[in-house]
Amino acid sequence: MEYYKLDACAMIAFFDDEAGTEKVNEILDNAAESACEVLMHNSSVAELYYNALKSGNQKAELVLPSLYSYPIRYIDRITTDMIKWMGYFKTTYKISFADSIVLATAKLYNVKVVTSDHHEFDVIEKSGDVAFEWIR
């Protein structure tokens, strides 16, 4: 079975029907059929809500119910192990706090990060620290 960690930019592409939507939809369909498991940390949920809020309150209020309707397992804790991995990724790769949570979650749960964020993650993929599934 495949295991994935959706990051916010993958879901933004999905909600906004941008390039890569098909790949996210395929992963979510497979999760609905129990062919894979999809994780998302609640920090990414907060990032999605913030992104929608920038577009207006009405859109933002639709994001959460829509998001929670998908077969995604939400992670809401930041454990000591996660803090250590966040520190490692943030200091080693000089990435954002949110991205360090994405990578720490992927590392702890041994899952692929689903993203389109080549700018931040290409160097990390080359290192082999975390596996990626690119949507575009």
Tens digits of per-residue pLDDT, 34-46? 999 999 999 999 9
Kindly report the CATH number assigned to the domain that includes residue 91: 3.40.50.1010
Least confident among 48-52, 82-86, 102-106: 48-52
Spatial CA neighbour of 14 closest among 26, 3, 2: 26
For residue 58, what pLDDT is reported?
A: 81
pTM: 0.93
CA of 37: how far to CAs of 15, 26, 29, 47, 71, in Å?
A: 20, 12, 10, 21, 8
Backbone angles phi, psi at 35, to 5 degrees: -90, -15
For residue 57, is pLDDT > 80?
Answer: no
Number of helices and strands (H, E) in the chain? 7, 5
**For the chain, what is the domain count?**
1
For residue 110, what pLDDT is reported?
A: 97
Q: Which domain holds residue 129?
A: 2-134
